[in-house]
Amino acid sequence: MTEKLFCTLMGHKWSNWTSESNSCTQSRKCNRQNCNAQDTRFIPHEWNDWFYYEDDSCKQIRKCKHCPESENKILHQWTDYQYERDNECGQLRTCTRCDAIEKRGPVHEWSTYIDSKRTCKRCNAVEVEPTYEDTGCCCEDIGGVCGMGCDPC
């Protein structure tokens, strides 16, 4: 019986897996004479640590240790939010690496409610306290206890 027929009937006599050069694949071959069977499998990427692409950039890269594959992401190093101007409630923060700016707001500094109204200490915006008519909840009708699952009026 030939080796090739033996492999067909009994299975191959595989070599150990070997890593392909500059690749995330491994291969093996049958060690029996006159059998040219080969097998290939993919292995997971093994990543190096993330590193910044340039000193003044927030782009980070990591590369696979076995193949040319790479991944990238943006990772800013933000300062704390600061108000943009006096008497305004818009805030911004700056990235210390790339000088990117991110804005948010308004972030009001509310006073306490007086006569169902409160005022922002920075920009003088006025807010009226919501009532059960505004929220559609009848909680005041059942003793002012919210979360009771009451039906809208």
DSSP characters over 68-128: S-EEEEE---BPPPEESSTT---EEEEBTTT--EEEE-----B---BTTEEEBTTT--EEE
Tokens read off for 132: 């059960």
The per-residue pLDDT for 53 is: 87
Per-residue confidence at 99, pLDDT binned at 50, 70, 90? very high
Instruction: Kindly state the average pLDDT of the residues 66-89.
Output: 94
57: exposed, middle or buried (C-beta count within 10 Å: 0-12, 13-18, 19+)?
Answer: exposed
The per-residue pLDDT for 143 is: 52
The per-residue pLDDT for 100 is: 94
The per-residue pLDDT for 153 is: 45
Instruction: Kindly state the average pLDDT of the residues 146-153.
Output: 51
Quote the mean pLDDT of the chain. 85
Instruction: Kindly state the average pLDDT of the residues 20-30.
Output: 92
**CA-based nearest residue to 67, from 47, 94, 88, 51:** 47
The per-residue pLDDT for 4 is: 65
Tokens read off for 52: 């910044």
**CA-based nearest residue to 152, from 139, 99, 50, 92:** 139
The per-residue pLDDT for 45 is: 94
The per-residue pLDDT for 93 is: 96
The model's pLDDT over 104-145, given as tens digits with 9 standing for 90+, comes to: 989 999 999 988 899 999 999 999 987 766 555 555 555 555
